[in-house]
Chains A and B, each alone.
Chain A
Amino acid sequence: MSSDVVSPATTLLRMSGIEKSFLGVQVLHGVDLDLRAGEVHALIGENGAGKSTLMKILAGVYQADGGTVELDGQSVRFEHPLQAQQAGVSTVFQEFNLLPERTVAENVFLGREPRRNRLVDAARMNTDTQALLEDLGLTWLRPATRVRSLSVAGQQIVEIVKALSYDARIISMDEPTAALADEEVELLYRLIAKLKERGVAILYVSHRLKEIFDLSDRVTILKDGALVDTVATADITSDELVRKMVGRPISSFFPDKRPGTEAGDVRLEIRQGGNEQVDGIDLTVRAGEIVALAGLQGSGRTEIAHALFGVDRFTRGQVLLDGRVVTLRSPRQAVRSGLALVTEDRKGEGLVLNQSVAANARLVLDAVLPRRASQGARRIPGILSSLELVSRGSSQEVRFLSGGNQQKVVLAKWLATEPKVIVLDEPTRGIDVGAKERVYTLMRELSAQGVAILMISSELPEVIGMADRIVVLRDGRVAGELPGGVDEETVMALATGHQADERGEP
């Protein structure tokens, strides 16, 4: 740091022993974090390590169950985001809190528009916004521009300017570069440098190691909701950082492959598939094979599943099923072609919550394959009992079932269509251990029958324990392919791209 205007040692904020549980599941176990004026403090950890929760507690979105937050040595407790903002703690979330139809100035001063003679002083609002923008060297951004017409980076900058206009001394940013193009990232870097000069403390949540080493002064590592370490970024290598993030023993409850399971012909192939979210995707899945798509949130895993299944589309490249080029324009066509997609959002996309188990299980059959429906439906009770569904009968509404049992209904729904290729997007998210094991066993059974399985998962142990091959994605592209059973660090390294500089692209 060249400027000594603000002593970098001034501690602005100290969070100690923060605890938080959701529905009885503890997600933060006594986490400590302190922020100093003028520093960029990176917060890093795997998906689900508790970064977002910690950030939301700081922002006043959630309230901690235990622990203290001190701002300038004063104990504070934010019950509402507005309170945090007024205390000088602003947060730039991944989902923007902006009104797309309003101008930059109107968004910056939303809720506290300057007035003169009881009327809104639009001129002052614009000049004040202009001044804020000029201060940050953002002369190309005009206060009267509609936010909708800005790029994602532009919108992000508006969020940051809005935060600053509250005289924020602490700004936390949740994966600010997730949706930015490379040249836009650079813009953000420069903005962050300006903020540092002013003595603003920045809490920077990111998966990308490069950014952490580029930007941060210190880094705090979380794992499974607990603090691992807080270190000066200069004192740690990226290898050490990755090791601190992962490195948990692989549990052994993944069932072994069924005897006689072997990879057959290529069932599914994507050649150079691409659209607005992903690019240059090459992927094959053979009969009897389990291929995992790994990667950080937002790396394009779900987007590939959606494009494959006709929810969105690939605008480039080809999809081949059993060696034949197919064009899948809708989920309906995909189902007819022998595909099944178990979606990530079980309640929103997988089930009709206020209908019965039986109705849900028959849904796809009835809708898409009416000629096979009655014959297929006869198999459903058998499928459900083989999945060990616990319910009060097939007429029970699925919303009353546990997460694991709901997932079994979703699986039954798709198995009833006798798919040749099944895509499982986060198949074990939010379900109990017993149900998880049942899902894993089912996957093994299916692959023994020659079904091709494409699995998407954020749980690295699951990816490593179940998959024959792991395709790692980063920023919408394939970063590399790994065999099943590799260690978590290798997958993480590829997903975060921390070795891309040394050994080039794989």
Chain B
Amino acid sequence: MSRAVAVAGSTRTARRLGATELVWLALAGVVVIGAVLVAVDGHNLFSTANTRDMLARSSLLGFVAIGQTLVILCRSLDLSVGYVMALCSLIAATTMNGDPARVPLAIGAVLVVAAAIGLANGLIISVLKVNPFIATLGVGLIIKGYLDTEYQGPAGDVPSSFQQFGYSRIGPVPLSTIVMLAVAVAGILFLRKTRTGYHMFAVGGSEDVSRLSGIRTGRVIVTAHVLCAVAAGLAGLLLAARFGTGSALVYDSGYDLDSIAAVVLGGTLLMGGRGGIGGTIAGVLILAVLDTVFNILEVDPFFKDVLRGVIIVAAVAIYARRQIDRKASRVRFGGDGGSGGSAPPDPVPDAPVPAGSTGGNA
């Protein structure tokens, strides 16, 4: 049996923590350290106001980052999410135009427009073979140009009934956070339970392997982009509910890059194929907790960005160290010393060759 053990033994039995668990641990660490720092400053990080602030911050970025996770899992990227958010907030506010009865229509319009943009992104990437970075940047710029010419300032009017989506809470938890978490759960189930979800990991892991296994890789990429844009559309709806109006200028708020940072912080490989929404949510919460802590401590806003940058880079550096070099699995001569070199190994140990060791004596 020793032989089987020799092969199986290299499956790392001392299983290390998975990436997702690690991110949630990091979140716990950030919360503890943040709470201590805030307490030293004479405040309470867990006061209702602060908790609400943290969760409210996380719901908006959460929607965007959930979608971004799907896209990045497929080894793609979406830089247009900020513009989609802004556009969708305007569509929502102008369609509603203060009339509660038009809310369903507005939501429908937002979802359709967002899905269409996602479809465009996905087709440009999978059919025209444009690099995702350029494709989504280009689509984003097209939307930006439209917004800048059509909407000089806030536009539209969100009825108060829909503004509840932005402001009502259950206990200390904003309704928007609950919706965001529900979307996250749906996303996790999608990835773990549907073929398309499985195939997103596959396409991100290797498009060639996926194609050779009969997966229609283009469809998978398009699906991811449609879902990503729809998630950004949901964020746009939430934005409209919060502001009471549509605003073009949110595209300057950096949700595109923040969402990518949250995804990567959450342990999803930027090169695709590994990760998940669970980690992303932790990444979003880490960023939200940091922002809240920095606000309470009144950290200089520029220095705040420096700190965020350092934390993101450090986290990704840690993940990179955990990566196992694939080449290492092809090692022919293991640890140094040992067989040192002078004595060549036996050609083949007395192999109990099964199929007639003298060749076919049929």
Are A217 and B333 in contact, CB atoms less than 8 angstroms apart? no
Are B4 and A477 in contact, CB atoms less than 8 angstroms apart? no
Are B213 and A110 in contact, CB atoms less than 8 angstroms apart? yes
Count, A-B residue pairs, CB within 8 A: 195
Are B330 and A111 in contact, CB atoms less than 8 angstroms apart? no
Measured in the bound complex, the distance between the Cα atoms of B195 and A215 in whole Å is 39
A435-473 CB contact bits vs B (8 Å, 1 = yes)?
000000000000000000000000000000000000000
A31 to chain B, nearest CB (A): 22
Are B353 and A189 in contact, CB atoms less than 8 angstroms apart? yes
Residues of B within 8 A of A218 (CB): 360
> For residue A186, which residue of chain B has the nearest CB?
B351
Interface stretch, picked from B24-32, B39-47, B89-97, B199-207, is B199-207
Are A280 and B332 in contact, CB atoms less than 8 angstroms apart? no
Are B333 and A278 in contact, CB atoms less than 8 angstroms apart? yes
Residues of A within 8 A of B360 (CB): 1, 39-40, 216-218, 232-234
Are B339 and A152 in contact, CB atoms less than 8 angstroms apart? no
Residues of B within 8 A of A275 (CB): 333
Are A215 and B355 in contact, CB atoms less than 8 angstroms apart? yes
Is B11 in contact with chain A by the CB < 8 A criterion?
yes
Are B341 and A279 in contact, CB atoms less than 8 angstroms apart? yes
Interface stretch, picked from A22-30, A190-198, A390-398, is A190-198
Q: With A217-B359, A234-B361 as given contacts, are A111 and B213 in contact (CB-CB < 8 Å)?
A: yes
Are B10 and A102 in contact, CB atoms less than 8 angstroms apart? no
Are A99 and B202 in contact, CB atoms less than 8 angstroms apart? yes
Tell me if B's interface is mostly helix, strand, loop or mixed. loop
Are B332 and A476 in contact, CB atoms less than 8 angstroms apart? yes
Measured in the bound complex, the distance between the Cα atoms of B7 and A154 in whole Å is 7
Are B349 and A192 in contact, CB atoms less than 8 angstroms apart? no
B314-346 CB contact bits vs A (8 Å, 1 = yes)?
000000000010101111111011011110111
Is B127 in contact with chain A by the CB < 8 A criterion?
no
Residues of A within 8 A of B128 (CB): none
Are B215 and A110 in contact, CB atoms less than 8 angstroms apart? yes
> For residue A157, which residue of chain B has the nearest CB?
B7
Q: With A150-B10, A182-B349 as given contacts, are A112 and B214 in contact (CB-CB < 8 Å)?
A: yes
Are B351 and A214 in contact, CB atoms less than 8 angstroms apart? yes
Residues of B within 8 A of A39 (CB): 360
Are B209 and A99 in contact, CB atoms less than 8 angstroms apart? yes
Measured in the bound complex, the distance between the Cα atoms of B336 and A218 in whole Å is 40
User: Quick one: which of B51-110 are within 8 Å of A by CB?
Assistant: none
Residues of A within 8 A of B202 (CB): 99, 102, 110-111
Are B359 and A213 in contact, CB atoms less than 8 angstroms apart? yes
Measured in the bound complex, the distance between the Cα atoms of B206 and A102 in whole Å is 11
Is B354 in contact with chain A by the CB < 8 A criterion?
yes
Measured in the bound complex, the distance between the Cα atoms of B210 and A169 in whole Å is 23
Q: With A1-B360, A183-B349, A234-B359 as given contacts, are A152 and B344 in contact (CB-CB < 8 Å)?
A: no
Are A150 and B11 in contact, CB atoms less than 8 angstroms apart? yes
Is B348 in contact with chain A by the CB < 8 A criterion?
yes
Are A277 and B352 in contact, CB atoms less than 8 angstroms apart? no
> For residue A61, which residue of chain B has the nearest CB?
B212
B188 to chain A, nearest CB (A): 13
Are A111 and B214 in contact, CB atoms less than 8 angstroms apart? yes
Interface stretch, picked from A47-55, A141-149, A347-355, A422-430, is A141-149
Are B210 and A154 in contact, CB atoms less than 8 angstroms apart? no
Is A100 in contact with chain B by the CB < 8 A criterion?
yes
Measured in the bound complex, the distance between the Cα atoms of B361 and A8 in whole Å is 12
Are A187 and B4 in contact, CB atoms less than 8 angstroms apart? yes
Is A272 in contact with chain B by the CB < 8 A criterion?
yes
Is A161 in contact with chain B by the CB < 8 A criterion?
no
> For residue A185, which residue of chain B has the nearest CB?
B348
Is A127 in contact with chain B by the CB < 8 A criterion?
no
Measured in the bound complex, the distance between the Cα atoms of B83 and A151 in whole Å is 46
Q: With A99-B202, A213-B359, A217-B362 as given contacts, are A186 and B8 in contact (CB-CB < 8 Å)?
A: no
Are B212 and A81 in contact, CB atoms less than 8 angstroms apart? yes
Residues of B within 8 A of A475 (CB): 332
> For residue B18, which residue of chain A has the nearest CB?
A146
Q: How many residues of A contact B (CB 8 A)?
A: 77
Is A77 in contact with chain B by the CB < 8 A criterion?
no
Is A119 in contact with chain B by the CB < 8 A criterion?
yes
Measured in the bound complex, the distance between the Cα atoms of B65 and A82 in whole Å is 35
Are A120 and B198 in contact, CB atoms less than 8 angstroms apart? yes
Interface centre among B5, B210, B344, B359 (most CB of A within 10 A): B359
Measured in the bound complex, the distance between the Cα atoms of B194 and A475 in whole Å is 44
Residues of B within 8 A of A233 (CB): 359-360
Q: With A99-B206, A120-B198 as given contacts, are A316 and B341 in contact (CB-CB < 8 Å)?
A: yes
Residues of A within 8 A of B361 (CB): 234
Q: With A149-B12, A280-B340 as given contacts, are A101 and B201 in contact (CB-CB < 8 Å)?
A: yes
Measured in the bound complex, the distance between the Cα atoms of B345 and A477 in whole Å is 10
Are A110 and B331 in contact, CB atoms less than 8 angstroms apart? no
Contact among B341, B346, B358 with A274 in the assembled complex (CB-CB below 8 Å): B341
Are A99 and B333 in contact, CB atoms less than 8 angstroms apart? no
Are B358 and A213 in contact, CB atoms less than 8 angstroms apart? yes
Are A214 and B353 in contact, CB atoms less than 8 angstroms apart? yes
Are B193 and A120 in contact, CB atoms less than 8 angstroms apart? yes
> For residue B190, which residue of chain A has the nearest CB?
A119
Residues of A within 8 A of B8 (CB): 140-141, 154
Is B357 in contact with chain A by the CB < 8 A criterion?
yes
Are A216 and B359 in contact, CB atoms less than 8 angstroms apart? yes
A194 to chain B, nearest CB (A): 8
Are A140 and B212 in contact, CB atoms less than 8 angstroms apart? no
Is A98 in contact with chain B by the CB < 8 A criterion?
yes
A79 to chain B, nearest CB (A): 13
A117-156 CB contact bits vs B (8 Å, 1 = yes)?
0111010000000000000000011100100111111110
B308 to chain A, nearest CB (A): 28
Contact among B214, B215, B324, B356 with A148 in the assembled complex (CB-CB below 8 Å): B324
Interface stretch, picked from A247-255, A321-329, A378-386, A497-505, is A497-505
Are B348 and A182 in contact, CB atoms less than 8 angstroms apart? yes
Residues of A within 8 A of B334 (CB): 276
Are B347 and A500 in contact, CB atoms less than 8 angstroms apart? yes
Are B193 and A279 in contact, CB atoms less than 8 angstroms apart? no
Chain A residues engaging chain B, CB cutoff 8 angstroms: 1, 8, 39-40, 81-82, 97-102, 106, 110-113, 115, 118-120, 122, 140-142, 145, 148-155, 179, 181-187, 189-190, 192-193, 196, 210, 213-218, 232-234, 272, 274-281, 300, 315-317, 475-477, 497, 500-501, 505
For the complex of A and B, the 6 pairs showing the least CB-CB separation, nearest first, are A280-B341, A217-B360, A193-B354, A111-B213, A233-B359, A99-B205
Name 29 A/B residue pairs within 8 A (Cβ), A-sorted: A82-B212, A97-B212, A101-B205, A111-B215, A112-B214, A113-B198, A115-B195, A120-B197, A122-B192, A148-B324, A150-B10, A152-B329, A152-B330, A154-B8, A181-B332, A183-B3, A186-B3, A186-B351, A189-B354, A210-B348, A214-B351, A215-B353, A215-B355, A274-B336, A276-B333, A278-B332, A316-B336, A316-B337, A497-B347
Q: Knowing that A187-B3, A192-B355 are A-B contacts, what are 16 other residue pairs whose CB atoms are under 8 Å apart, sorted by A's residue number?
A: A82-B212, A101-B201, A106-B201, A110-B198, A110-B215, A122-B192, A140-B5, A148-B326, A148-B329, A149-B10, A154-B11, A276-B332, A277-B331, A279-B333, A281-B341, A316-B340
